[in-house]
Amino acid sequence: MIALSQKQRRVFSQIALTAAAWSVAFIIFFPILWMVLTSFKTELEAFATPPSLFFSPTLENYQEVFGRSDYMHYAWNSVVISMGATLLGMLLAVPAAYAMAFYETKRTQSTLLWMLSTKMLPPVGVLVPIYLLFKESGLLDTRTGLILIYTLINLPIMVWMIYTYFKEIPKDILEACRMDGATLGQEISRVLLPMCKGGLASTVLLSLILCWNEAFWSLNLTAANAAPLTALIASYSSPEGLFWAKLSAVSTLACAPILIFGWISQKQLVRGLSFGAVK
Amino acid sequence: MAELKINALRKSYGDIEILKGIDLHIRDHEFVVFVGPSGCGKSTLLRSIAGLEEVTSGQIVLGGRDITGLKPAERDLAMVFQSYALYPHMNVRKNMSFALELAGVDKATIEAKVKDAARILELTHLLDRKPKDLSGGQRQRVAIGRAIVRHPQVFLFDEPLSNLDAALRVQMRLELARLHHELNATMIYVTHDQVEAMTLADRVVVMNQGRIEQVGTPLELYHHPVNQFVAGFIGTPKMAFIPARVIGGQGHELTIQLPSGEHLTLPRSPDSIHVGAEVTLGIRPEHMRIVSPENANLTGQLDVTEHLGSDTYCHVNIDGGHTLTVRQGGDYEGRFGEIVGVDFDLSRAHLFDSEGNALDSVTRQAA
Ligand SMILES: Nc1ncnc2c1ncn2[C@@H]1O[C@H](COP(=O)(O)OP(=O)(O)O)[C@@H](O)[C@H]1O
Ligand SMILES: [Mg+2]
C-alpha cells in the first residue's frame, strides 16, 4: 500500500517536473515564436488587441523587406565579420591561453580576471574615443573595423574558455610530446588542439553567435557599406514609426541563419560548455 | 656509449634550492634507481636530465657530449611518465610511431619498429585501440613502447608503477627487469618505494632533501649504510634506532650503554669516538631475536604480533618509550603483554654518531 503510494508520488513528481521544464522552455522560446508568427501577419493583425491567434499567413512582409533592402548584402557582411572576428580571435586567444595555462606565473590569475573585467565596462563608456579612433584611421563603416572591435570584445571570453580547456590537459602529455621531438607548432597543432577540439569548437560557435548578434557597435560604427544584419533590423524600427510585421520579418531573416546553425551544432555547444562537468 | 655524468648540478625554484649539488656517474647499460622520500627532488633530477627542467648550474654529459643546454628531443633520451601521458586522440600504433614520424623516419622502418616493440611488450593485438580502451597495465606498456621504438641511449622512468595495483606492480616490475636485460640499455628509474629500488637496481641512489645520501648496490646499502637516513630508509620493516652513550672501548671493541641501563659491547674501533659521546644504535628486525628474559640483551613487553605466515613481526616496547620490531619465524606465538627478552646480533648492528654518520664497523674495514 505504502509502496504503491510512493511509486505514485514519484510518477506524479516526474510529471510535474516535466511540465515545469516544458513551461520554462516555452517561456524562453515564446518571443521567438511570436516574432516568427508576427512576420506572417499583416501590419493590422500584428497590432490587434487581443492578438489574433488564427490568421491567414501572408508573405507580403518578406516581399517588402526583400524589395526594399539588399538582404544578401547585410547577410554577407554578417558572415564575413563574424567569421573574420572569430578567426582572428582564435589566432590570438590560442597562444594567449597556451601561455597562461602551461606557463602560469603568479600574475596569470589576475591577468585573467582583469581581462574579464573589461567586459564589465559599459561599451557606451568608450564609444566616443573608439569612434574618433575609427574616424581618424579610416575604419568607420568598414568590415575590417568591425572585425577588429568584435575580436577585442570577445577575446577575454575566448581566452578564458580556451584557458579552461587547456587547463584540463595534463602537462605530462605536452612534455611527452616535447620528448618525442615535436616543435612548439607541432605540439600545439598535433597534440594540444586535437585533444581539445570539442572545447575549441564551442568557443568558435560562441564567438560566431556573439558576433552575429552584436548590435551596439555595428549600429554606431557602420552606415551602409559594412552594416551587418543587426543594423538592417534597426533600420526597420526607427525612421518610419513602428511596423511590427515588417520588423518581425526582418528579424526572423536576421536570426534564421544563426538559429539554424545553433540548432545543428547544439550538441557540440552543450558538450563544450559543460566540459569539466561531464567528462 | 650511454654513459651519463652529472657534475655539481643545482636547481632552484625562485629562492628555494631543490637540488643542492648533485654529482653522479651512471655507467653504460646500468639500471640505476633514484629513491628517496616524496619531495626530495628525484623527479626534478630526472626531469633535469630529460631537459624538461632548466638547471640553475652544473653540467650533464651523455656519452661524452654536454647536453646541459639541449632541448629534450636533442638529448637522445626517452621518458616514461607516472601518468603514462599517452596521446588520448591517437591509437596505440600512432602513440608509438609519433616520435618517429616527427623525426621523418620512413614508413616501412616505422612499421617495423612499432611491430617489434609491440611484440616485445605483447601489445600486437591492441595496436588499433585508443588509450581509453586499455587497462592500466596495458597503458603502461604502451608508454614503455613509445620509448622503446626510439632506441634512445637512456630510458628515464618517473614512478612508472605507482598508478598500478599491488599485484600488477609486482608483475610489471619483473617485466621491466626482463626488458632491461633484453634491451641492454641504460635505465634511470625514479621511485619512492625502496622495495622497487632494491629489486630493480644495479645501483641505487638514495636521495634526501636535494642531496645524494649514498650510491651503491642494493646490498651495499643494506649492509653498509653510510648514515642513519639511508639505514632507516632501506629495509622493511625499518631498522630500529636506540639512543645510547659510549662508556668505554679498547682494542676493537666499544661498549655503549642503553637508556634502560644495559651495556652492550660492539665490534667497533673506538678511535673515532670518545667516551661519553652520544650515539645511536641501529639494528634491523632480522638481526634481533626474541629469547627468554633471563639472559637477553634487553627485556621488554610484547605488544602486537603480526603473522605473515613466512615471518612474524613482533613489536616489543622497551624502556625509554621505544618500540622494537623483531622478525621471528612464521610459527612464533607470542602472548600480548608478555615480558620477553630481545637478543641482538651485535656483529650486524650499526652505530651512528650524533650527526647520524655511520661509525665504520670492523667487518666493513676488513671487507
Ligand atoms: N615547478 C615548481 N615550482 C616550485 N617548486 C617545485 C616545482 N616543482 C617541484 N617543486 C618542489 O621541488 C621539490 C622536489 O620535487 P620533486 O622533484 O617532484 O620531488 P620527488 O619527485 O622526489 O617527490 C618539492 O618540494 C616540490 O614542491
Ligand atoms: Mg616525483
Q: All 3 cell numbers of residue B31? A: 639500471
pLDDT (tens digit per residue) in A240-258: 567 788 888 999 998 888 8
* CA separation for the pair A247, A243 (Å, rounded): 6
Q: How many CB atoms lie within 10 A of CB A157?
A: 18
Band of pLDDT at residue B81, cut at 50, 70 and 90 = very high
- Residue pair B302/B260 in contact (Cβ under 8 Å)? The answer is no
Protein residue closest via CA to atom 9 of ligand 1: B44
Report the number of secondary-structure helices (H) and strands (E) in chain B.
9, 20
pLDDT of A69 higher than 90: no
- Which residues in chain B have Cβ-Cβ distances shorter than 8 Å to A173? 85-88
Q: Domain map of chain B by residue range?
A: 4-232, 237-352
B19 lines ligand 1 (CB under 6 A): no
- Which residues in chain B have Cβ-Cβ distances shorter than 8 Å to A195? 87-89
DSSP bridge partners of B288: B344
- Residue pair A102/A171 in contact (Cβ under 8 Å)? The answer is yes
CATH of domain B237-352: 2.40.50.140
DSSP bridge partners of B5: B25, B61
> Ligand 2 mean position to B16 CA, how many Å?
17
> Ligand 2 mean position to B238 CA, how many Å?
22
Catalogue all structural domains in chain A, each as residue range(s) with its CATH number: 72-277 (1.10.3720.10)
Give the pLDDT score at B239: 95
Nearest to A178 among B73, B82, B89 (CB): B73
pLDDT of A49 higher than 70: yes
The pLDDT mean for chain B works out to: 92
Q: Which residues contact B122 (CB under 8 A, 6 or more apart)?
A: B141
> Ligand 2 mean position to B43 CA, how many Å?
4
DSSP state of B315: E
Mutate to test the interface with A, among B98, B113, B148, B155 (most CBs of A within 10 A): B98
The three-state secondary structure class of B287 is helix
Cβ contacts from A onto B, under 8 A: 57
| Residues across chain A | 279
Give the pLDDT score at B1: 61
Give the pLDDT score at B201: 96
Task: Specify the fold of B4-232.
Answer: Rossmann fold (3.40.50)
Give the pLDDT score at A276: 45
Give the closest ligand to the alpha carbon of residue B17: 1
B310 lines ligand 1 (CB under 6 A): no
Q: Which amino acid is at A265?
A: S
Q: Which amino acid is at B320?
A: G
B22 lines ligand 1 (CB under 6 A): no
Predicted ipTM of the assembly: 0.84
Out of A66-70, A212-216, A270-274, give the one with best mean pLDDT.
A212-216
pLDDT (tens digit per residue) in A161-185: 999 999 999 999 999 999 999 999 9
Give the closest ligand to the alpha carbon of residue B211: 1
Q: Which residues contact B231 (CB under 8 A, 6 or more apart)?
A: B225, B239, B282, B350, B352, B358
Give the pLDDT score at A277: 43
- Residue pair A70/A229 in contact (Cβ under 8 Å)? The answer is no
**Average pLDDT score over residue span A227-238:** 85
Sign, CA torsion B117/B120/B126/B132: negative
B93: closest CA of chain A, how far (Å): 14
* CA separation for the pair B280, B290 (Å, rounded): 21
Q: Do A173 and B87 touch (CB under 8 A)?
A: yes
Q: Are strands B322-329 and B288-291 parallel, antiparallel or unpaired?
A: unpaired
Burial class (CB in 10 A: 0-12, 13-18, 19+), A30: exposed
Mutate to test the interface with B, among A180, A191, A195 (most CBs of B within 10 A): A180
B40 lines ligand 1 (CB under 6 A): yes
Give the pLDDT score at A129: 93
* CA separation for the pair B211, B230 (Å, rounded): 12
Q: Do A170 and B83 touch (CB under 8 A)?
A: yes
pLDDT of B362 higher than 60: no
Is residue B340 within a helix (H) or strand (E), and if so which, with residue range? Answer: strand B339-344
> Ligand 2 mean position to B159 CA, how many Å?
7
